Amino acid sequence: MPRKRRGQPVHGWIVLDKPLGMSSAQAVAAVRRILDAAKAGHGGTLDPLATGILPIALGEATKTVSYVMAGQKTYRFALKWGEQRTTDDTEGAIVATSPVRPDQAAILAALPGFVGSIEQRPPDFSAIKVAGERAYDLAREGAVLDLARRTVEIASLRLVGQPDPDHAEFEAEVGKGTYIRSLARDLAVMLGTCAHVTALRRLSVGRFGLDRAISLDKLALIGHIATASDHLLPLETALDDIPALALTEEEAEAMRRGRTVTPLRPSDRARIDAMDHGATICATSNGRLVALASVEAGLVRPVRVMNF
């Protein structure tokens, strides 16, 4: 039997503006198919009912996904007061109602309580594992869940619109692990009512924003041309905040073989000595990323080696 074709060695990032109704896994599969890429992954799940920024890593960029997922994310979301649903969004069944409709003054007074480090209980319909099973699978089977609260970081939360008494629109900048559905649920409880998310759009993930995004329809139209265009961003785009260290060719070759190196140039040694133990750096050679590396006692140890 002939060996199945795996695709081309495409490396870099596509910033997809994910459409409504498509899962993140489906979006990754679609981009991989359009670009005929051998390997792909994504930098942060979006629910099917959410739209917006889904960074898709291709080839060796998949080794940098964790750095993207750790970055700040910005969301715009709308909620409907007075209805609590099983999923905390429009997909679930109504389980409670309230006649209370908070006014602008009440909302603005409540928002500061949700900025900074806060405790948050994830939605029952989430991908968190409980005894080896996904919470959403257990919830669909009718299990009563008591998911542990976790600390999340919310940099900002602001009211951006109130089209009518039943609805409100917000924008939030949040850290890793924050659930917008939980934020909406808890805000409603604070205001003496209930609510669920009716629309959710992710505006940015780290340095990836709508200004760099492309729709799936447009990507399908330009096809393989995207790999040679501005839409395929360099692998290093996700690592702009990480300091870089230029290696000699000899040092780069050693690191490609998985060896720890000691920078030869005095200026480089001084930089390394000034860094904290365990600090992450981008080790480069001739302008290309060789490895993500860790600084340890004046040495540079490769953590994720790039294979171009």
> In the prediction, which pLDDT does 274 show?
85
Q: pLDDT tens digits for 247-287? A: 989 999 999 999 999 887 888 878 888 888 889 999 999 88
101 and 119, same domain (yes or no): yes
Contact status, residue 282 vs residue 60, Cβ threshold 8 Å: no
Q: Of 223, 238, 253, which residue constitutes the final position of a domain? A: 238
Of 12-21, 117-126, 156-165, the one with minimum mean pLDDT is 117-126
Beta-strand ranges (E) seen in 19-166 are 40-42, 50-58, 73-81, 83-85, 94-97, 116-120, 129-130, 133-134, 150-164
171 and 287, same domain (yes or no): no
Q: Tell me the residue range of the domain where 269 lies.
A: 242-305
In the chain, the number of structural domains is 3
- Evaluate if residue 176 carries a pLDDT over 80: yes
Q: Of 205, 224, 256, which residue constitutes the final position of a domain? A: 205
145 and 227, same domain (yes or no): no
Pair of tokens at residue 282: 């981008």
200 and 77, same domain (yes or no): yes
pLDDT: which is higher, 185 or 123: 185
Q: Which helix (H) or strand (E) holds 293?
A: strand 288-296
Q: State CA 219 to chain mean position distance.
A: 21
Q: Of 182, 205, 228, which residue constitutes the final position of a domain? A: 205
Residue 86's nearest CA partner among 139, 40, 135, 122 is 139
130 and 201, same domain (yes or no): yes
Its sign, for the CA torsion 178, 180, 182, 188, is positive
Of 7-11, 125-129, 212-216, 265-269, the one with minimum mean pLDDT is 125-129
Residue 4 lies in a domain: no
The arithmetic mean of pLDDT across residues 132-147, rounded, is 73
198 and 92, same domain (yes or no): yes
197 and 213, same domain (yes or no): no
Residue 3 lies in a domain: no
- Evaluate if residue 35 carries a pLDDT over 50: yes
- Evaluate if residue 1 carries a pLDDT over 50: no
The arithmetic mean of pLDDT across residues 89-111, rounded, is 96
122 and 230, same domain (yes or no): no
Contact status, residue 176 vs residue 206, Cβ threshold 8 Å: no
273 is catalytic: no
Of 132-136, 186-190, 217-221, the one with minimum mean pLDDT is 132-136
- Residue 4 pLDDT level (bands cut at 50, 70, 90): low
- Evaluate if residue 10 carries a pLDDT over 70: yes
CA distance 278 to 301: 9
pLDDT: which is higher, 133 or 63: 63
Catalytic residue among 47, 88, 124, 186: 47
Residue 6 lies in a domain: no
79 and 201, same domain (yes or no): yes
CA distance 65 to 55: 9
Residue 305's nearest CA partner among 282, 287, 286, 277 is 282
Q: pLDDT tens digits for 189-220? A: 999 999 999 999 999 999 899 999 999 999 99
Residue 2 lies in a domain: no
Its sign, for the CA torsion 219, 127, 73, 156, is positive
59 and 160, same domain (yes or no): no
The enclosing domain of 115 has a CATH number of 3.30.2350.10
**Contacts for 201 with CB less than 8 Å, ≥ 6 apart:** 50, 51, 52, 75, 76, 77
93 and 197, same domain (yes or no): yes
Residue 147 lies in a domain: yes
- The overall average pLDDT reported for the chain is 90
Residue 188 lies in a domain: yes
Residue 217 lies in a domain: yes
DSSP annotation of 211 reads G
> In the prediction, which pLDDT does 159 show?
98
25 and 41, same domain (yes or no): yes
CA distance 92 to 86: 5
Its sign, for the CA torsion 41, 125, 148, 201, is positive
The enclosing domain of 247 has a CATH number of 2.30.130.10
- Evaluate if residue 227 carries a pLDDT over 80: no
> In the prediction, which pLDDT does 132 show?
76
- 228 phi/psi in degrees, rounded to 5: -115, 15
